[in-house]
Amino acid sequence: MISLGTFKTVLFTVGPFLLPRLIGWYRKQRVKTATAPVAKQPVPKPVYRSFNILFISALIALASTAPYFDPENIFTITSSRLQTPNDVLFTRLSLTRGGLTDNDHTLKPKLASLDSRLLYLTYGPDVLTHCPFCLSDDPLTYFYFALPSLMIPHLLHLLALGMATSNVVVGSHANRWRTLAATVGMCLALCEFTLYTSYDYKVNARKVRPEDYVLFAWNMRMFRGIVIAVADAFFAGLLWLSSTNRMFVIPPTSAERTEMAMRLLESSRGKLNAVGVMRNVVSRDENLRKKSDMYWRREGQVMGEVMDEREVVEGVRNALSGRIQMATVEADARKYAEGMTAWQDGWRAQTQNDVST
């Protein structure tokens, strides 16, 4: 098994090269997000399904680390050493439990040697009890028998990650992380298998006190649940950042931008047509036309009175001094107003000509 010293050595060796790259990648993502023509948005409703799946997966993984679900360790409950004779060990176990089970009778002859007891602490009681071909002379046989039970949690985790990033279940928001999720899930499984095959099961051979024993099988159950929960939380964070456009923003393609522009133009065109129809109705109805004329005359008088006030004039002058040419703005506003009312004058003249003829 990889020791803490080895881990520190690798960390201090790789860290100075990896940390600047991570910082640079983070800054690049921030700049890319800030410059992308996409606004932040709330979490889409389909993404909540992904959050629920990941939450349930993490909750089950953390619950599996509870001592209630751990297999029984006969050396711990009897406070016995590895060198304790078999008869004494199982006599203590019988007194503690009030009797022996069928599995205990099956396990008893398999714990006759020190190597088998060391393998018991490495793979747990189920492997030693039910394995029909395992030999203490070949420790890998225990790993081969334990491999299916070790794969089941990771297969279930891969299933949860696949559902959380499925295009059918969640939509396109999470599908972009599907490959990464599958890769991470398989890497977690391979890491655990590597730890089992590289672990020195004889590490407990020279230890005297039972409390000093390294319970590898029990520790791996706990670490597996914690790591799976952390991985689920990590992907939930990625989904939250990407679905709300806070990070990992993918700019729209040219075709998507063109489609969005066409939709905006169609919407604007519909609104302009509606405004045109409304103005046509107002112009053709005498009462509505009079009300419209009265409104704009009154609006002009009110705004003229407001703009003539000293405080307003000074405020506008202070705000726009040196930045905007007021003469140009007023001229453009006058042209715009004349253009807006020119069609009414022309329509009135045409109406009068029709009436006179």
DSSP secondary-structure letter at 135? B
Q: Which residues share a beta bridge with 138?
A: 135
Q: pLDDT (tens digit, 9 = 90+) per residue, 114-134?
A: 889 999 999 989 999 998 888
Average pLDDT over residues 227-253: 85
- pTM for this one? 0.69
191: left (phi over 0), alpha (psi -120 to 50) or beta: alpha
- The mean-pLDDT minimum among 159-168, 233-242, 336-345 falls in 336-345
Place of tokens 């889409």: 44
Q: pLDDT (tens digit, 9 = 90+) per residue, 248-306?
A: 777 667 777 788 778 888 888 888 888 888 877 777 777 877 777 788 788 777 777 77
**Residues in CB range of 229: below 8 A, 6 or more apart:** 57, 58, 59, 61, 62
Q: pLDDT (tens digit, 9 = 90+) per residue, 29-38?
A: 666 666 665 6
pLDDT class of 1 with cuts at 50, 70, 90: very low
**Residues in CB range of 112: below 8 A, 6 or more apart:** 86
Q: Which of 90, 57, 58 shows the shortest CA–CA distance to 74?
A: 90
Distance in angstroms between the alpha carbons of the first and the last residue of the chain? 106
- 3-state secondary structure at position 252: coil
